[in-house]
């Protein structure tokens, strides 16, 4: 007997064999992070972004104040942007902004028109809207009608002023802005594998909220000046923190559909 011979397959036979795939796997397919690594990465990114926001609060407040002043001047509003220092202990965290406006007393015609519109919208909900939005709009109509009744009953004295409303709105928007990195870390940062996607999405959402804050305050002021202080509860309920949550959910859903962004250093 001769010595054992082991014949490797000839190259043509190897080439003729069916192969599964010759595609080079992407890096995201070959590298798999454990859940602990992902949590650590997410927490690190969230803490970093929140710290940047906290430290940038003073210049951000100054930016917002100057933007709101410019908008008030441009729109010729009879309003004033009022700022108070925001201190927690000995530490200053920028300023608390609000809009003060002396709106003239609403005339009866305006109040009647709003009441008619309220009833009209309330009646229209039977014909147009479907179930979840129908009741939401009815509640808003009832709320606005109650506000109008309160103004009529108390004689132009509304319990809330625009300054209170905008300050609370500013506070809620600021808290929401500071909570956003943490909320992203609890969900989006865990499921998204690409660090570039995470970073760009977080910057986009935070940027939207930063730009939207002064716009929202001035927009509410314009609406109150246009209609009456009776819309303040309506605005707070429909276009306040609830709208912030809805906008974040919409942006969150959008960034989740992104494909993997590619970034090349040349």
Partner 1 sequence: MSSLSLTAVWFLLLASGALLSPLWPALRQWYLPPPPSFKPDDTHHGDWDAAAHVAQRQVQESFAKLLQLAANDSVTRGAHDDGTAFMVLGAKNYLSEQLPASARHLRMQVIASRHLDIPGELVCDSLLFAQGKLNIAHNAIVKTALSRRDAAVGPRARVRQWIRAEGRIDAAEGAALMGCASAGREINVARRARFEKLMAPVLSFGRCEPLRMPAAPAHLVPMQAPGNAFIPGDGRWIIDGDMSVPAGHSVNARLVVSGSLLVGTGSRVRGDVHVMGDLVIHHDATLNGAVRCDGNMRVGECCRLAGPILVAGILTAGSQTVFGATELFSTVIASEIRIQEGCMAHGAVWAQRRGEVLAEAAPQSAPQGPQQAAPLQFQGSAHA
Enumerate binding residues for partner 1 (CB under 8 A).
1-7, 9-10, 12-13, 16-17, 71, 74-77, 103-104, 106-107, 110, 208, 212, 215-216, 218-219, 222-223, 225-227, 243, 246-247, 250-251, 254
Cβ proximity to partner 1: between 191 and 246 the closer is 246
Q: Token pair 């995470």 is at which residue?
A: 198
Cβ proximity to partner 1: between 129 and 199 the closer is 129
> What is the separation of C-alpha 205 from the centre of its chain, rounded to a whole number of angstroms?
7
Cβ proximity to partner 1: between 43 and 212 the closer is 212
User: Least Å distance between CB 7 and partner 1?
Assistant: 5
User: Least Å distance between CB 205 and partner 1?
Assistant: 9
Cβ proximity to partner 1: between 104 and 155 the closer is 104
Cβ proximity to partner 1: between 54 and 210 the closer is 210
User: What does the block give as tokens for 104?
Assistant: 């003239």
User: What does the block give as tokens for 15?
Assistant: 């080439």
User: Least Å distance between CB 220 and partner 1?
Assistant: 10
1-14 burial, b if ≥16 CB within 10 A, otherwise e? eeeeeeeeeeeeee
User: Least Å distance between CB 75 and partner 1?
Assistant: 5
User: Least Å distance between CB 65 and partner 1?
Assistant: 18
């Amino acid at each position: 007997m001769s010595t054992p011979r082991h014949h490797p397959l000839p190259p043509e036979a190897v080439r003729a064999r069916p192969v599964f795939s010759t595609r080079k796997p992407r890096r995201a397919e070959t590298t798999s992070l454990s859940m602990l690594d992902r949590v650590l990465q997410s927490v690190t990114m969230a803490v970093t972004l929140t710290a940047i926001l906290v430290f940038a609060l003073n210049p951000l407040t100054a930016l917002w104040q100057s933007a709101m002043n410019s908008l008030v001047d441009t729109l010729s509003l009879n309003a004033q942007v009022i700022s108070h220092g925001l201190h927690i202990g000995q530490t200053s965290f920028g300023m608390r902004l609000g809009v003060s406006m002396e709106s003239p007393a609403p005339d009866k015609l305006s109040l009647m028109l709003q009441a008619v519109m309220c009833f009209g919208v309330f009646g229209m909900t039977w014909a147009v809207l479907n179930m979840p939005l129908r009741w939401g709009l009815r509640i808003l109509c009832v709320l606005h009608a109650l506000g109008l009744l309160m103004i009529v009953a108390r004689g132009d004295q509304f319990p809330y002023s625009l300054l209170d409303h905008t300050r609370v709105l500013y506070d809620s928007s600021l808290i929401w802005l500071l909570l956003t990195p943490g909320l992203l870390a609890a969900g989006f940062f865990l499921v998204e594998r690409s660090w570039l996607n995470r970073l760009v999405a977080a910057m986009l959402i935070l940027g939207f909220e930063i730009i939207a804050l002064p716009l929202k305050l001035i927009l509410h002021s314009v609406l109150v000046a246009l209609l009456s202080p009776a819309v303040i509860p309506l605005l707070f309920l429909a276009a306040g923190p609830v709208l912030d949550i809805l906008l974040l959910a919409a942006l969150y859903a959008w960034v989740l559909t992104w494909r993997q962004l590619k970034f090349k250093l040349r």
